[in-house]
Amino acid sequence: MVQCVNVDWQAKSAPADCVDVFLKFRPHFSSEFEEAFLHQLVLARLKKECHRWDPRSDTIPIHEWLLPWLPYVGSAMKSLYPDIRLALASALNQWHPSDLSVLAVLSPWRELWGEREYGKFTHRHVVRKLIRCLHREFEINPGNQSLEALTWVLEWKDHLPDRQFIALLEGEFFPKWLKVLRKWVSGSPNLIELEKWYCGWKLLFEKNKLATNERLLVHFHGALVLLRVATESVGVSVENRPPVPELNGSAATNYQDALALARDEEVKDSPVREKTSPRNVSSRSVSLKDVIENMAISHNLTFMPKGFHDGQQVYTFGKHQIIIEQGVVFLEEVKGVFKPVDLEQLL
């Protein structure tokens, strides 16, 4: 059996072979032998293969050769989750949102990891790439509109936690969209073209079942305010036109702002908010790791775990290697030598 697992078994290309052998001989195993076989041989081999997995050269998705063992190893599979996340994070490092094959690679892990861990993963490794895509490859252009980059982002609707996906649109799409509309209305727009443009966008969001989301609907209402101003300005000289109003000044202007606003509303609407003690409020305060993670997203930098140094977790932050310990960031200045730095020195 040792030979079967360590030598004969092609874990990636033929994952079922070893499972078949295991099931064939399982009736003859004692419970102690079965546990040793699964935990000391199978899981150890799978862990090794996680470290070796390279999505650029391995055509078989990681879940296809890991999950066949889930019914037999059960909760022990959780011991591989950090390795799986590290492998997937590495794969996403060079990923571009136009490659939608990653949806099928990630989706099997959502239920297994749980919404919290899955959300932390997508926040770190997916959302920042989608934000970069919207910044660099998507433009609101009424005269020559391309939807390709936005279509890539919309494909993530059912694959990101709702809070993240809505915050992405609220903070990274709508401010840009309303800015273009406001500029258009400030000129001398053709009302038919203006209405057609608005209805086209509204229809796109309706088709994607997003038009009735409260946090997004408010932006369509803001657009209607601007359209009303355009209607009232027809036939009126420039100097006598009603002023184009400023919309909600407290609205989110980026993804992080939108997330923060959503959290604030959740806390405000919570029925137990009045019972929250100062100690509990403190426990919810943002950690240094969260701050650094948000810095990475805002500046389109990589932030992910990368091994250990003297038992401490090392992270890649852009081109730097750092350690976060007791509220202090340590930067690797030379190989293996970490010194404390201010956050500003990381950028």
Count the alpha carbons within 13 Å of 65 in the hemisphere toward its beta carbon: 24
Encode pLDDT of 204-233 as tens digits: 999 999 988 989 988 998 888 888 888 887
Which range, 75-79, 188-192, 257-261, is most confident? Answer: 75-79
Same domain, 260 and 295: no
Q: Among the listed ranges 103-117, 127-141, 186-200, 289-303, which one has the minimum average pLDDT value?
A: 289-303
* Domain region containing 104: 98-285
Q: Which residue has the higher pLDDT, 271 or 289?
A: 289
Place of tokens 């032998």: 33
Is 126 in the same domain as 265? yes
- Cross-strand partners of 322: 315, 331
Domain boundary among 41, 62, 94: 94
- What does the block give as tokens for 312? 């401490």
Identify residue 167 by its one-letter amino acid code.
Answer: A
Structure tokens given for 54: 């390279």
Q: How many domains does the chain have?
A: 3
Q: Which one has a higher pLDDT value, 249 or 334?
A: 334
Q: What share of the chain is helix, strand, coil (3-state, %, to 5)?
A: 65, 10, 30
pLDDT at position 321, please?
A: 92
Q: Which of 253, 285, 317 is the last residue of a domain?
A: 285
Same-domain pairing of 264 and 179: yes
Is residue 124 located within the same domain as residue 5?
Answer: no
Distance (Å, rounded) from C-alpha 88 to C-alpha 23?
29
Residues 239 and 308 in one domain: no
Would you say residue 94 has pLDDT above 70?
yes
Whole-angstrom distance, CA of residue 347 vs CA of residue 342: 10
In this prediction, residue 4 carries a pLDDT of 59
Q: Which residues have a Cβ under 8 Å from the Cβ of 148 and sit 6 or more positions away?
A: 137
Task: Retrieve residue 305's tokens.
Answer: 């775990």
* Confidence band for 111, pLDDT divided at 50, 70 and 90: very high
